[in-house]
């Protein structure tokens, strides 16, 4: 048994944050049905994030972990017959998730109000940059814009330099994808109690603000602004940061607690540095005084005397928080990553063995599973229409009319 077995999700998203959200739900057992516009249908964003097509696309799809455990239906929602099919699907669904700009699904006739009228138990989740209301709700944007408004971007970087643009992890994947999963799961639990569905409004910007709650709380409490590159969290103090090793690779040190810093100092034969551990003012400003510069310079020299992996093995045994700074290709042979099954191999009928990231949420009794690899476009259109009761001749007519793909 899978945790979300029996839950059907209609996925109207077409970008990676939505795909990650529904991937997680699919991994946990939900039947995720991707609703994709046929070629030539749609506005300026048509084709973005669409499943690959034809036999040539199968290899590409096999490695598309974000869309595993999903089925694909090609459906023209701009046609009346396409909307009718979607409404029939919605009657059988538990969750609908979409990632359009506010107002689009209403114009298509597949918005929450329309769907909840035919299925009061539906949970309808919208992912949008600024949320469904407010003065910015109709504005366009991407991760860098949302983390700017949320206050996160100006916390990243070095002093006296422009903010450093990170990968789109904060607003896109943590702010939207993960908060979307949480919102949908919470609404499913609530439905078990009330019998009714509800609307889940997820904003990338709101999610990014939620992630930096600790920093916001500190500002409200003390009124002090964190300055990028000037606190221990930025690696400016020697007990928390990254050092180059003898082989040109890097090691990360996270000795925030005084006892871990003491372990490091003793391991390196630098007992005189033990008193120079974390202090409350380190949360607020960069190091003051020559001693910190001396310690940092000395540690930089020391770490150049062994390779990255030698330091890791040595310091881990000394109970020092240490990490190997991997390139992406190194991650997949790490013994901890492999032990936790965060690399999985799935057999593909034509491609052979395919590697993908594993399932991060570990459930003891109802663990997740990669049940199917990502589909090509419209691979399951006929299968799902037959589930709805359509005959083969009706399906052929809908295909001829470009209602389905």
Q: Which two tokens stand for residue 46?
A: 């048509």
Q: With beta carbons less than 8 A apart as the criterion, state whether 257 and 323 touch.
A: no
Q: CA-to-CA distance for 78 and 57, rounded, in angstroms? A: 26
What pLDDT does 47 receive?
Answer: 61
Q: With beta carbons less than 8 A apart as the criterion, state whether 274 and 261 touch.
A: yes
Q: CA-to-CA distance for 195 and 186, rounded, in angstroms? A: 13
Q: Which residues contact 111 (CB under 8 A, 6 or more apart)?
A: 105
Q: What CATH number labels 8-212+344-400?
A: 3.40.50.10540
Q: Which residues contact 242 (CB under 8 A, 6 or more apart)?
A: 235, 250, 251, 252, 253, 325
Q: Which two tokens stand for residue 326?
A: 């991997």
pLDDT in tens, the chain (405 residues): 999 999 999 999 999 999 999 999 999 999 999 999 998 776 655 666 788 887 778 889 999 999 999 999 999 999 999 999 999 999 999 999 999 999 999 999 999 999 999 999 999 999 999 999 999 999 999 999 999 999 999 999 998 899 999 999 999 999 999 999 999 999 999 999 999 999 999 999 999 999 999 999 999 998 888 889 999 999 999 999 999 999 999 999 999 999 999 999 999 999 999 999 999 989 888 899 899 999 999 999 999 999 999 999 999 999 999 999 999 999 999 999 999 999 999 998 888 999 999 999 999 999 999 999 999 999 999 999 999 999 999 999 999 999 999
Q: CA-to-CA distance for 372 and 71, rounded, in angstroms? A: 9
What pLDDT does 68 receive?
Answer: 97
* Short-list 22, 28, 27, 24, CA closest to 9: 22
Percentages (nearest 5) of helix, strand, coil residues in the chain: 40, 15, 45
Helix, strand or coil, per DSSP, at residue 300 = helix
What pLDDT does 283 receive?
Answer: 87
Q: With beta carbons less than 8 A apart as the criterion, state whether 358 and 344 touch.
A: yes
Domain at 237-331, CATH class: alpha beta
Q: CA-to-CA distance for 318 and 314, rounded, in angstroms? A: 7
* Domain-wise residue ranges, the chain: 8-212+344-400, 237-331
Catalytic residue set: 142, 172
What pLDDT does 57 receive?
Answer: 84
Q: One fold for both 8-212+344-400 and 237-331?
A: no
C-alpha of 306 from chain center: 35
Q: With beta carbons less than 8 A apart as the criterion, state whether 33 and 80 touch.
A: no
Model-level pTM? 0.94
The residue count for the chain? 405
* Short-list 70, 73, 49, CA closest to 127: 49
What pLDDT does 45 receive?
Answer: 58
């Amino acid at each position: 048994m899978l945790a979300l077995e029996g839950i059907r999700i209609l996925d109207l998203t077409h970008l990676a944050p939505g795909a990650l959200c529904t991937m997680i739900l699919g991994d946990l057992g939900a039947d995720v049905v991707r609703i994709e516009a046929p070629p030539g249908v749609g506005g300026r964003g048509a084709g973005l994030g669409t499943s690959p097509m034809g036999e040539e696309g199968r290899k590409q799809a096999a490695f598309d972990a974000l869309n595993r455990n999903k089925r694909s239906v090609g459906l023209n929602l701009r046609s009346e017959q396409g909307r009718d099919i979607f409404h029939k699907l919605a009657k059988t669904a538990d969750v609908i998730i979409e990632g359009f700009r506010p107002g689009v699904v209403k114009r298509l006739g597949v918005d929450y109000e329309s769907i909840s009228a035919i299925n009061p138990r539906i949970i309808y989740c919208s992912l949008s940059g600024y949320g469904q209301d407010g003065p910015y709700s109709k504005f366009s944007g991407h991760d860098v814009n949302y983390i700017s408004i949320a206050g996160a971007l100006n916390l990243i970087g070095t002093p006296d330099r422009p903010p450093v643009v990170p990968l789109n992890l904060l607003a896109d994947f943590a702010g939207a994808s993960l908060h979307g999963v949480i919102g949908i799961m919470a609404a499913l639990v609530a439905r078990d109690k009330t019998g009714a569905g509800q609307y889940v409004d997820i904003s990338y910007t709101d999610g990014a603000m939620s992630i930096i709650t600790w920093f916001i709380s500190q500002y409200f409490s003390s009124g002090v602004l964190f300055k990028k590159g000037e606190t221990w969290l930025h690696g400016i103090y020697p007990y928390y940061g990254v050092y180059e090793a003898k082989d040109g690779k890097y090691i990360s040190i996270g000795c925030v607690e005084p006892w871990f810093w003491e372990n490091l100092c003793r391991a390196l034969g630098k007992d005189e540095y033990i008193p120079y551990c974390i202090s409350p003012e380190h949360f607020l400003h960069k190091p003051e005084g020559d001693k910190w510069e001396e310690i940092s310079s000395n540690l930089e020299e020391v770490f150049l005397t062994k390779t990255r992996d030698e330091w890791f093995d040595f310091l881990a045994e000394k109970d020092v928080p240490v990490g190997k700074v991997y390139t992406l290709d190194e991650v997949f042979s790490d013994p901890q990553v492999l032990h936790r099954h965060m690399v999985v191999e799935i057999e593909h009928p034509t491609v052979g063995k395919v590697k993908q990231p594993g399932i991060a949420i570990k459930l003891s009794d109802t663990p997740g599973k990669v049940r199917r690899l990502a589909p090509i476009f419209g691979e399951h259109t006929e299968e799902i229409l037959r589930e709805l009761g359509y005959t083969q001749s009706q399906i052929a007519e809908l295909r001829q009319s470009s209602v389905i793909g």
